[in-house]
Structure 1
Amino acid sequence: MNEKMTRAWLILGDILVTLLLLISFILFYLYPPVPAVKQVQKAVPQYNRTQLSPLLKIPELNTTTMTVEAFLRMAQEANNAEFIPIETYKNVPLEEALSLVPAKMGNPVFIRIFKQEAVLEMWIKAEGEYRLLKTYKICAYSGTLGPKRKEGDRQAPEGFYSVSRSSLNPHSKFHLSFNLGYPNAYDRAHKRTGSYLMVHGNCVSVGCYAMTDEKIEEIYKLVEKALKQGQKKVQVHIYPFRMTQENMAAYSHNRWYDFWANLKEGYDYFEAEHLPPHIGVKKKRYVIQETDE
């Protein structure tokens, strides 16, 4: 009797062990364990906002007053930003770029800057129109979208500016530089203040558009040669972003929309003619007129 009972208990034990193993396999299959994440200490480089702004486009947030509608609109604006492939900034030698246009050093040049995309376009005149020569990545600029308004606001300007021979500074402490001529007639009409707003090297910015030293050497040379060959002034048009209908619609509620719509008139003229327009100022507005060229 005792032997039978012992055997029964052993069989029951085997059955229980088998059931436990089966349940364990089922649970393991349904809920696999999450591997432990190993914490890795890394040295993270420190950047200030000026260095990050052209790369990350960090918005100025006022969390105490921002509405859900405003937050959603900001997200929509970020999603509408134009994607520019890295190939755009491929370092094509200047001589090769000139041969592809084709053009030569000393031909008239024209510059467009797009703040949001952080790019500087160099256009050069060939066969009666301006053609895109090279696109340069801006190394640093300070501030946010919108015009410069006063001295010390650390805001990079937007608008229509021009560079003459007297604007060039080959002995700049920022390697090389040329003054944009801020404040221009439009800025003065709006009582805006500021000085020494430039395109320069050294990759640091307190209101200027800064390039690497290598890039400013090419840009400076093209501007200097054009001015020495007889171009009276090199126009520099600075926009908050590419003035497409989509981008304008995305920023339709922005406080600077009317100002940007005025800038778009100059953008549209060049897009159509591939010649920089004559820029005037009347009643505190830019007036876009037929080109002088």
Structure 2
Amino acid sequence: MRRAVLALSILAIGAALLAVLTTMIDDRPAPRREPAPRQSFDRAPLAASLAAAGHRLGDAAHVRIYKQEARLELWLEAADGRYRLFRSYEICAFSGDLGPKFREGDRQAPEGFYKVRTAQLNPASRHHLAFNLGFPNEYDRQHGRTGSALMVHGGCSSVGCYAITDAHVDEVYAVVEAALRQGQDGVDVHVFPFAMSPDAVAAAEAADHPHADFWANLLEGHALFVRTGRPPGVAACNGRYVFDRRDAGCEPIMGWQA
């Protein structure tokens, strides 16, 4: 009888540990699952909307995320080389508070400058479709931050990711995938705590917010995009983001402008 009770206790402890571990990684590949939902997505309405806006599947893409406003923006490169907003999507769920991600398992959605390449696409996601943000980037590593499988995905649940529903991720994923297939080196994804402005960051500084300096650094990259209409080159230099310059010893994160 005691042996049976002991065995049941061991099984219960094992199940509890497994439950904890599964919450630490929000999106793991499911190699045996066929990406049937993706095959059923009718791209014709999306293609028509793109054409009406002067775009097509395969145009260079850029993604911008604003946590507080729960908004994901999809930008596309126009004929003049500047990026223009194509469509905004509501973020159905993200976890954590305003501020960066620090460590594996803290259930915090990251903020910063990331790049999505083809290898980061997951058509067999357990959340319908997903793409990995690439956290930690070089900046995160310089600060000793840890984490894995931080995604933009479908559904409406999150443990450190950005969920935008299946219907919305169908569109965003299709545009990102097509841009990469047409030769874009990587799709830049910029993640901000809120709609960035000097006043908003100054308010955080005046309140002595612990992330105010980090947000002021993010504002530099945000302002450069607003001014030029193009995602800037980004590098990590001595624990800070720098933009469109090649300082000695910096670690590039995403492409440099000519």
Query: Which of 29, 39, 62 pairs up with 1:110?
Result: 62
Question: Please, which moves more after superposition, 98-107 or 225-234?
Answer: 98-107
- Which residue matches 1:158? 111
Identity %: 52
CA contact under 8 A between 1:101 and 1:131: conserved in structure 2?
no
Structure possessing the higher radius of gyration over alpha carbons: 1
- Which residue matches 1:200? 153
CA distance, structure 2, for counterparts of residue 101 and residue 124 of structure 1: 10
Code of the aligned partner of 1:277: P
CA distance, structure 2, for counterparts of residue 97 and residue 250 of structure 1: 39
Query: Which of 130, 136, 139 pairs up with 2:92?
Result: 139
What are the Cα deviations for residues 62-88 of structure 1, in whole angstroms up to 9, with x where unaligned?
xxxxxxxxxxxxxxxxxxxxxxxxxxx
- Report the Cα offset of residue 97 of structure 1: 3.5
Query: Does residue 144 of structure 2 align to residue 191 of structure 1?
Result: yes
CA contact under 8 A between 1:239 and 1:263: conserved in structure 2?
yes
- Which residue matches 2:75? 123
CA distance, structure 1, for counterparts of residue 202 and residue 144 of structure 2: 29
- Structure 2 SS opposite 1:122: strand
CA distance, structure 1, for counterparts of residue 69 and residue 52 of structure 2: 25
CA contact under 8 A between 1:101 and 1:126: conserved in structure 2?
no
CA contact under 8 A between 1:279 and 1:286: conserved in structure 2?
yes
Query: Does residue 178 of structure 2 align to residue 225 of structure 1?
Result: yes
Code of the aligned partner of 2:77: K
CA distance, structure 1, for counterparts of residue 52 and residue 75 of structure 2: 13
- Which residue matches 1:26? none
Query: Which of 160, 165, 179 pairs up with 2:132?
Result: 179
- Report the Cα offset of residue 245 of structure 1: 2.1
CA distance, structure 1, for counterparts of residue 78 and residue 49 of structure 2: 13
CA distance, structure 2, for counterparts of residue 262 and residue 246 of structure 1: 14
CA distance, structure 1, for counterparts of residue 49 and residue 199 of structure 2: 31
CA distance, structure 2, for counterparts of residue 189 and residue 246 of structure 1: 28
TM-score, normalised with respect to structure 2? 0.76
In structure 2, the CA distance between the partners of 1:272 and 1:97, relative to structure 1 (3 Å rule), is farther
- Structure 2 SS opposite 1:277: coil
Query: Which of 252, 258, 262 pairs up with 2:217?
Result: 262
- Which residue matches 1:292? 257
Q: Which has the higher contact order (CA 8 A, sep 6+)?
A: 2
- Structure 2 SS opposite 1:251: helix
- Report the Cα offset of residue 96 of structure 1: 4.6
- Structure 2 SS opposite 1:272: helix
- Structure 1 SS opposite 2:105: coil
CA distance, structure 2, for counterparts of residue 106 and residue 95 of structure 1: 10
Alignment of 1:9-48 (within 5 A): none
Unaligned runs of 5+ in 2: 1-44, 246-255
- Structure 1 SS opposite 2:147: coil
Alignment of 1:74-89 (within 5 A): none
CA contact under 8 A between 1:97 and 1:134: conserved in structure 2?
no
CA contact under 8 A between 2:198 and 2:219: conserved in structure 1?
no
Q: Which runs of 4+ in 1 moved over 6 A?
A: none
- Structure 1 SS opposite 2:72: strand
CA contact under 8 A between 2:131 and 2:152: conserved in structure 1?
yes
Q: Give the alignment's Cα RMSD to 1 decimal.
A: 1.2
Query: Which of 214, 220, 231 pairs up with 2:167?
Result: 214
What are the Cα deviations for residues 139-159 of structure 1, in whole angstroms up to 9, with x where unaligned?
000000000000111000000
Unaligned runs of 5+ in 1: 1-92
Query: Does residue 232 of structure 2 align to residue 277 of structure 1?
Result: yes
What are the Cα deviations for residues 240-274 of structure 1, in whole angstroms up to 9, with x where unaligned?
01111221122122110000111111100100011
